[in-house]
């Protein structure tokens, strides 16, 4: 019985472990401290944690931590303070987190391959909506802008930055497949 409880408690801890790893990688995946490879790896852990949480408390907790991590990423970049800074971060994080929510919602409803496409498609849509609605910054903050010196950047001559964003975002669901 004690062994069974131990196993159950370890399973309950896994989403938090994935979340912790994902947030650390996310923190260094864009803006102030961009490490290009982490942009590819962080979504794997964040997708895994959002999928593994049994209830919405864990998912909400994930969103709150992403807001905090994103606020740290953009510290001293966004020229705002206090409540205005918080509102800007909250608005941006809604678009960052929407693909994770959509993935969680549709993951079990689609076949395995189709489910891998949900996160990258919604990531591209979210980035596109932000780029056309964010008149002063455009596509600033796109996952595609985190990459440099890659042969893969040649893809942007055909697909624009959205193709590269799609490929980067597709890595996490493929690895979780």
Rounded distance between C-alpha atoms, residue 73 and residue 92, angstroms: 12
What whole-number distance in Å separates Cα of residue 11 and Cα of residue 54? Answer: 11
Task: Kindly report the average pLDDT of the chain as a whole number.
Answer: 90
Determine the average pLDDT of the residues in 17-24: 96
Say how many C-beta atoms besides its own lie within 10 A of residue 64's C-beta: 11
Of the candidates 83, 118, 75, which has an alpha carbon nearest to the alpha carbon of residue 100?
Answer: 118
Query: Residue 52 class from Cβ within 10 Å (0-12 exposed, 13-18 middle, 19+ buried)?
Result: middle
Per-residue CA distances from 119 to 5, 19, 107, 176 (Å): 34, 17, 9, 11
Q: Which two tokens stand for residue 4?
A: 């069974």
Evaluate whether 67 touches 109 at the Cβ level (below 8 Å).
no
pLDDT at 139: 83
Per-residue pLDDT reduced to its tens digit, 77-127: 888 899 999 998 999 999 999 999 999 999 999 999 999 999 999 999 999
């Amino acid at each position: 019985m004690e062994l069974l409880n131990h196993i159950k408690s370890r399973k309950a801890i896994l989403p938090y472990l994935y979340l912790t790893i994902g947030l650390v990688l996310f923190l260094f995946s864009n803006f102030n401290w961009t490490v290009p490879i982490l942009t590819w790896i962080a979504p794997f852990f964040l997708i895994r944690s959002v999928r593994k949480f049994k209830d919405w408390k864990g998912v909400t907790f994930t969103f709150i931590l992403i807001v905090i991590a994103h606020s740290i990423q953009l510290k001293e970049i966004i020229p705002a303070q206090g409540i205005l800074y918080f509102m800007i971060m909250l608005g941006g994080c809604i678009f960052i987190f929407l693909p994770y929510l959509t993935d969680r919602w549709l993951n079990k409803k689609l076949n395995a391959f189709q489910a891998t496409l949900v996160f990258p498609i919604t990531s591209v849509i979210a980035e596109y909506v932000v780029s056309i609605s964010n008149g002063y910054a455009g596509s600033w903050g796109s996952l595609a802008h985190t990459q440099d010196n890659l042969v893969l950047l040649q893809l942007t001559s055909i697909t624009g930055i959205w193709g590269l964003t799609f490929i980067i975002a597709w890595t996490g669901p493929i690895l979780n497949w």
